[in-house]
Chain A
Amino acid sequence: MIQMAIVVEAVGLKKIYMLGKVLVEALRGVNLKVESGDFLAILGPSGSGKSTLLNMIGALDKPTAGKLFIEDVDVSTLNDNQLADLRRSIGFVFQFFNLIPRFTARENVELAMTITDMGKGERRKHAENLLETVGLKERIDHKPTELSGGEQQRVAIARALANNPRFLIMDEPTGNIDSKTASEIIDLVKRLNEERGVTTILVTHDSRVAEKAKRVVQMLDGLIVKEMAN
């Protein structure tokens, strides 16, 4: 078996936070490895800590204990600026799309590249290519309110791919769209993974979505309880 490069590695990852006056142990020692080219689904009921884990992997939040390595870099040693730089190489897709409402589809995709200082002409062209890849060539100049949920999520995927990320992380990407569109979206993600080798980590509570991934880990009460390969 060929040894693949490890993109993400969690070692004894713990996260404890206060929810009002209650101490919540969201992660209680998670060990996980994600290799380059993987398509991993994290499956679990709500409150199992899967979104918290995803936030750690996405460098949006810091662990209370344990270590998280992204391509051999210990995330807990990074300062605010370095974390921002790291996030530029991670593609985020959220349940509620999180597009900027005043911008068109193309402008939303361009925004990711504006942040990384790409020139205007280049980012415009790149944004158009990406939107074509996700099948939105005809909807380039539409604002989010003029797009369906599935279309908005495609824009979000195009935006996540804009800076050629090390991996994509998706937090319930199909949680807010109908099942038919959801399966189209997952097919798109699968295609990107297979054809372009885009490493993808996806969080869902829907086992039908998880079925399409190469690997599935099951979480319960802040721990990974089961791992299976499809």
Chain B
Amino acid sequence: MRTRDIFSYAFSAIKLRKLRASLTTMGVVIGIAAIVALLSLGQGFQNAIAAQFERGFATDTLVVSLRSLQGTQSSYQLFTNDTLTIEKIANVTLAVPVIQKTVYAKIENRTFLINVAGVDFAEYGSVFSSTFVAATGSIPSNPSNESIVVGARVHDPWQNGTTLANVGDSVEIIWTTVVNGFRRENITYTGQVDAVLDEVGGFSFGGPYDLGVYIPIAQAESFFETQETDLIIVKLKDSEETTIDDASQEIRNAFGGQVSVTSSTAVLGIISSVFTFVELFLAGIAGISLLVAGIGIMNIMIVSLMERTREIGILKALGMKSRTVLLIFLSEAVTIGLLGAVIGIGLGLGLAELVARFGFLALGLRNERADGGMGDTVNQGAVRGLSITPVLTPTVLFGAFVFGLLVSMVFALYPAWRASRLKPVDALRYE
């Protein structure tokens, strides 16, 4: 029997039981849609993270920090002049120390608890040339001690047009010292905003971020009366894996293993591998729903086999071969699987799109609203600056398609085999 005739025969049988066939198809649709939605959302999320990382943290940088031992900081200390040691290492072009402290910042009678970072503006800017960039004002390369650079969210904390810390405004920095572990003393100084940074977005590893306040390193050293540093940012010659690995190892050796060296690529790798695991786990659950759909297919194929036993007898009496009977039953399942896969892929993409737009609200990842009074609109994408576009890779598309087909075929195999094995004389006698 010709392939086309086999399919048209199978189709005529499906058409006879429209409701039953469409319910079975629905099972496949749900399974495929869940897989496609999860995987394409996951891919979109990964792409968004990767893009953020490329912006927020240059790939040719390392972050040197103190190694924490079982949650407690070691007594080892890094100092600002440790950069000299690092800069001697091969492939290191620059090492920038960062002095970070949590302070109160008084801006126009409002007081904020905020992180302040003391950096060399020129060097820091050369490492993070795409993010340490002024949106308004300009970042001085030879700053006065009072110079302050603020992140976009410090300037515009409510994102509704009410701005603070404009260029030229003064900011009072208040730091509570702890002397001998007992006495507290507030020391203050007043700086002046020279620049507001461009918005960086959600992620920033060691680099500038939207809630940061930056002061010159010299000012930090004298104000906080310290040369201890928490972070040293290292810029490398390039972002080759061997360069990163070799330099990381040498830096660790140079400090006797007391520091940890992290590359942004490694962090990206960890995040994406964690996310891949979660994604696969969810896709696995979706896969189970497809297996359930497969059992549904098997169920109706067996019912269909019972109902059509006599028909199979007629076909065999007319000289149809067992193999052809098998193929007819399989192609019925394949038709259902194919239809389910196509509809499921479409529905899954739609679902992913919907979740990307609205679903993250439910997940607690806050969507920023434009507080424009009437007709609030939800920004496209989810976390501000992290907009997710679901991506259907050819692999996922092809995989979902093949998986749908395969499941429907595998579960139809047994009923189809039983149909093909019927003896014509018994089948014809079947009531």
Contact = CB atoms under 8 A, between A and B. Distances in A.
A85 B319 contact: yes
B425 interface: yes
A90 B317 CA distance: 9
A87 B318 contact: yes
Give chain B's interface secondary structure class: helix
A94 interface: yes
A114 B328 CA distance: 13
B12 A55 contact: no
A106 interface: no
A112 B318 contact: yes
A200 to B, nearest CB: 17
A34 B1 CA distance: 31
Contact of B317 (A60, A80, A81): A60
Contacts of A179: none
Given A60-B425, A94-B428, A115-B1, A103 B320 contact: no
Contact of B321 (A61, A81, A89): A81
A117 B5 CA distance: 9
B153 interface: no
A87 B316 contact: yes
**Interface range for B:** 20 to 34
A16 interface: no
Contacts of B321: 80-81, 84-85
Contacts of A114: 1-2, 5, 9
Given A55-B425, A115-B324, A102 B12 contact: yes
**Interface range for A:** 20 to 34
Interface stretch (B198-206, B307-315, B406-414): B307-315
A87 B311 contact: no
* B310, B321, B323: most-surrounded residue (chain A CB, <10 A): B321
Contacts of A55: 425
B314 A100 contact: yes
B130 to A, nearest CB: 66
B424 interface: yes
B12 A103 contact: yes
A92 interface: yes
Interface in B1-58: 1-2, 5, 9, 12-13, 15-16
A92 B317 contact: yes
Contacts of A85: 319, 321
B194 to A, nearest CB: 83
Interface string A83-101: 0111111101010001010
A58 interface: yes
A97 B114 CA distance: 90
Contacts of B9: 114
Nearest to B12: A102
B322 A100 contact: no
A7 interface: no
B340 to A, nearest CB: 23
26 contacts: A60-B317, A60-B425, A61-B423, A80-B321, A84-B320, A84-B322, A86-B319, A87-B318, A87-B424, A88-B318, A88-B319, A92-B318, A98-B310, A98-B313, A100-B314, A102-B16, A103-B12, A111-B315, A112-B318, A112-B319, A114-B1, A114-B9, A115-B318, A115-B320, A117-B2, A163-B319
Interface of A: 55, 58, 60-61, 80-81, 84-90, 92, 94, 98, 100, 102-103, 111-112, 114-117, 159, 163
